[in-house]
Amino acid sequence: MITTTIGYPYIGENREWKRLVEKFWKQAISEDTLQAEWKKLRITHLKKQQKLGLTQVTSGDFTMYDRMLDLAFLFNLIPSRYRSLEDVPSLTTYYAMARGTTDTVACEMTKWFNTNYHYIVPEYEGATLKLNHNHYVDWFLEAKEAVDIDVKPTLIGPMTFSKLTKGYRDKELAHYLLELLPLYAQVLQQLVDVGAEWIQLEEPILTTALSEEDCRLAEVIYTQLVEAVPQAKVMLTTYFEALTDFERITNLPVAGIGLDLIHGKKENLAALRQHGFPPQKTLALGVVNGRDIWASNLQEVAQDVQAVQTLVSPQAIWLQPSCSLQHCPVTVANETMLFDTLKDALAFSDEKLGELVEVSGYIESSEWPTPTAVSASMKRIEALKNHASRQNESVSTALAKLEEKDFKRTVPFTERLALQQQALHLPLFPTTTIGSFPQSKEVRSWRAAWRRGDLDDAAYEAKLDAETLRWIALQEEIDLDVLVHGEFERTDMVEYFGEKLAGFAFTKFAWVVSYGSRCVKPPIIYGDVDWLAPMTVKETVFAQQHTDKWMKGMLTGPVTILNWSFVRNDLPRDVVAAQIALALRKEIHALEEAGIRIIQVDEPALREGLPLRQDNWQAYLNWAIDAFKLATSSVNTTTQIHTHMCYCEFNDFIDPITALDADVISLETSRSHGELIHSLKENPYPYGIGLGVYDIHSPRVPSADEMTTILEESLAVIPANHFWVNPDCGLKTRQEPETVASLKHMVEAAKALRKKTLQTN
């Protein structure tokens, strides 16, 4: 029985990939050095997987920034605005597409299905496509030389790639595919020519809602590919959900189909019972969870595989994680900060591969390779289940006592707005930021010294206070209307709160990639969540005392804390979200009592938690919206609640964000601003809104004129008294000079619009 991966984490146990690419961006290493070190990292990962016992490894799961961008670059989908950078596109052009340049905006970035990862959106402008250098061949040959087991190249499939490309109208899809499919065929043929037996094409789009036209398109795509390269054995693998049209997809003319038996377990098993599985195909089963960190119940996994064996007789069965392990940390082995009961119940990527090997051995021989594997697995799971952290009666009692009034503001928005304007005295088009300011090398060094014990609490806090005061002065100099304290004490917008709440644990090396080289270390929610003491009051009040302008309180919302954490798997997610909301409700009360009148509760992850199929959205939205309202609805009428979100698609989400009943929402929209303006024309938003006027994911400094144009376009769809002006996201990862310059231009643009509007009226 083959044991394999869909993909392995490319960032390394200690984020080696991140450090290399950031050195290259800073011109601290050459491209030759970068490529040589990348190769060492890839080979290390391959050899480790072989040592762990896999019988097949995967090549092509590596990336230079993002795998969708890799394919766009391979197929020469290079927007015209980058073509003047160099005659022959190289890493310079590639990274310009990812990050922008001084004069050129970056490509749009958005969430990869319902994960916390962001991908670069390919742009098709109608230019003729062609095949650039095929790194997939290089990586395959490199892997074949490095290990003596089977190597399976992988790339994102043509259905998913084309559906996620922007720039073409529906009627232009056929023309786009006529250009794209021959290039896919060339890639497959080149891989076959160098000895690839199996080639994996990842098609998560096939687990989303598919129309009849989509199903026919999948049939056309794969019929053409197989006819073009009949020697290629294609493993069409799917993940994140069950197949939408099981019978038609499993009968596509490919050699193998991969199914997610974690997130799509119930539906996929039911479909196997109803439709069977083509006996001439290989069936790859995703039987360990590639998106969480909990150890599997090995007995249950083995039973799932055996259940499939009783239903169908495929040519062969492979065992693999449910999706790429890119969404999971690398290994538990290096963790030293976790208590034993919790650590024993965890399995990161390496441990999950060990689970696959154990289950495969049992299925093949009816004996466990490690005789105590099952009993030890059950003991570890049961020990955490019975841990005192999961028996907090005060939390369960508080949840049981909730009433309908706990989820509602007492006064409607139109009345609140008038009262808040009277209380806050803000100008038209008030300017603010999303919350964080650049965390310089010095700030990070202070934190590291404090955590090592080289800097005591008083000295560390004094340094943070000085940095806060410096940025208050900078904000006043820039002339922002509503200030923030800068969040210099916070490592991460979720981790910071988890460190101060009961029920959370933290790792030392459990990094996962968020976008590009940006890595995060999600907290682990392992027990009942409870508020212990004020978390943000001290820093916010300190900042407010040093300015006459309003200072925003800054919190991360309950759904974002949930979605950006690894969440316990013994309770429904809605219950955990409600626990977090109750804790934040107490924090908001504490801020109000301390005199803070503008409080931002960020929910950038609200939309990404949506199920992949729209008919399953409402159940999620019901409890997600309730969690936000539970946290925020008890405030005074004159306390202004802000929130922040990251997404581009607005038409299908206007009702949920309206239901939040937040006074002001800021949106991450700069890379797709025109699309949002069009959406707002069709679906006006009735609350205060700030459209991000510049992209913080790029070091580029936009001009005041550029921002003025965006603001004037926005004014056509946003009432002036509802209109806020802000960047599109937090500024933590940016450098200070570009941040100050961009904010000065932003304030200049807002003032120009304010003056023009007042003169007109």
Radius of gyration of the chain (CA): 26
Residue 103 binned pLDDT confidence (cut-offs 50, 70, 90): confident
Which residue from 58, 50, 51, 56 is spatially nearest to 1, judged by alpha carbons? 56
- pLDDT 10s digits, 138-168: 999 999 999 999 999 999 999 999 999 998 8
- pLDDT 10s digits, 598-627: 999 999 889 888 899 988 999 999 999 999
- How many angstroms separate the most distant Cα atoms in the chain? 83
* Kind plus residue range of the DSSP H or E element containing 2: strand 2-3
- Separation of alpha carbons 619 and 734, rounded Å: 37
In a domain, 38, yes or no: yes
In a domain, 93, yes or no: yes
**Whether residue 626 is found in the same domain as residue 740:** yes
The phi and psi torsions of 512 (rounded to 5 degrees) equal -135, 155
Inform me whether the pLDDT recorded for 670 exceeds 70: no
What total number of domains does the chain contain?
2
Residue 724 pLDDT: 96
**Whether residue 147 is found in the same domain as residue 201:** yes
Q: Which of 135, 697, 722, 745 is catalytic?
A: 697
Q: Is 487 annotated as a binding residue?
A: yes
Q: Is 608 annotated as a binding residue?
A: yes
Q: Look at residue 109 and give its three-state secondary structure.
A: strand
Q: Is 227 annotated as a binding residue?
A: no
Residue 651 pLDDT: 62
Q: What does the pLDDT average to over 289-299?
A: 97
Q: What does the pLDDT average to over 474-498?
A: 94
Q: What does the pLDDT average to over 648-668?
A: 83
Least confident stretch, 343-357, 387-401, 509-523, 682-696: 682-696
Q: Is 351 annotated as a binding residue?
A: no
Residue 737 binned pLDDT confidence (cut-offs 50, 70, 90): very high
**Whether residue 261 is found in the same domain as residue 175:** yes
**Whether residue 66 is found in the same domain as residue 115:** yes
In a domain, 462, yes or no: no
Whether residue 544 contacts residue 553, with contact meaning beta carbons closer than 8 Å, is answered with no
- pLDDT 10s digits, 23-36: 999 999 999 999 99
> Can you spell out the DSSP letters for 364-430?
HHSS-SSTTHHHHHHHHHHHHHTSGGG--HHHHHHHHT--GGGGS-SS-HHHHHHHHHHHH-PPSS-
- pLDDT 10s digits, 425-461: 999 999 999 999 999 999 999 999 998 999 999 999 9
Residue 694 pLDDT: 85
**Whether residue 17 is found in the same domain as residue 80:** yes
- pLDDT 10s digits, 48-86: 999 999 999 999 999 999 999 999 999 999 999 998 888
**Can 697 be counted among the known catalytic residues?**
yes
Q: What is the dihedral sign for C-alpha 436, 439, 445, 448?
A: positive
Residue 713 pLDDT: 87
Q: Look at residue 527 and give its three-state secondary structure.
A: strand
**Whether residue 430 is found in the same domain as residue 287:** no
Q: What does the pLDDT average to over 233-247?
A: 97
- Separation of alpha carbons 280 and 271, rounded Å: 18
Q: Is 215 annotated as a binding residue?
A: no
Q: Is 258 annotated as a binding residue?
A: no
Residue 262 pLDDT: 97
**Whether residue 382 is found in the same domain as residue 253:** yes
Q: Is 519 annotated as a binding residue?
A: yes
In a domain, 118, yes or no: yes
CATH number for position 538: 3.20.20.210
Q: Is 472 annotated as a binding residue?
A: no
**Whether residue 432 is found in the same domain as residue 354:** no
What's the mean per-residue pLDDT of the chain? 94
Q: In what order do the strands lie in the sheet with 723-726?
A: 482-483, 550-556, 598-602, 640-646, 664-668, 688-692, 723-726
- Separation of alpha carbons 48 and 58, rounded Å: 12
- pLDDT 10s digits, 390-408: 999 999 999 999 999 999 9
Residue 649 pLDDT: 58
Q: Is 323 annotated as a binding residue?
A: no
Inform me whether the pLDDT recorded for 581 exceeds 70: yes
In a domain, 408, yes or no: no
- pLDDT 10s digits, 741-761: 999 999 999 999 999 998 887
**Whether residue 371 is found in the same domain as residue 430:** no
Inform me whether the pLDDT recorded for 648 exceeds 80: no
In a domain, 405, yes or no: no
Q: What does the pLDDT average to over 484-500?
A: 92
Residue type, 545: Q
**Whether residue 624 is found in the same domain as residue 674:** yes
**Whether residue 431 is found in the same domain as residue 348:** no
* Residue 551: strand pairing partners: 483
Residue 465 binned pLDDT confidence (cut-offs 50, 70, 90): very high
Q: What does the pLDDT average to over 532-556?
A: 97
Q: Is 434 annotated as a binding residue?
A: yes
* Residue 724: strand pairing partners: 690
Inform me whether the pLDDT recorded for 717 exceeds 90: no
Q: Is 745 annotated as a binding residue?
A: no
Residue 471 binned pLDDT confidence (cut-offs 50, 70, 90): very high
Q: What does the pLDDT average to over 688-709?
A: 88
Residue 45 binned pLDDT confidence (cut-offs 50, 70, 90): very high
In a domain, 464, yes or no: no
- pLDDT 10s digits, 246-277: 999 999 999 999 999 999 999 999 999 999 99
User: Domain range for residue 505?
Assistant: 425-440+480-760
**Whether residue 433 is found in the same domain as residue 336:** no
In a domain, 402, yes or no: no
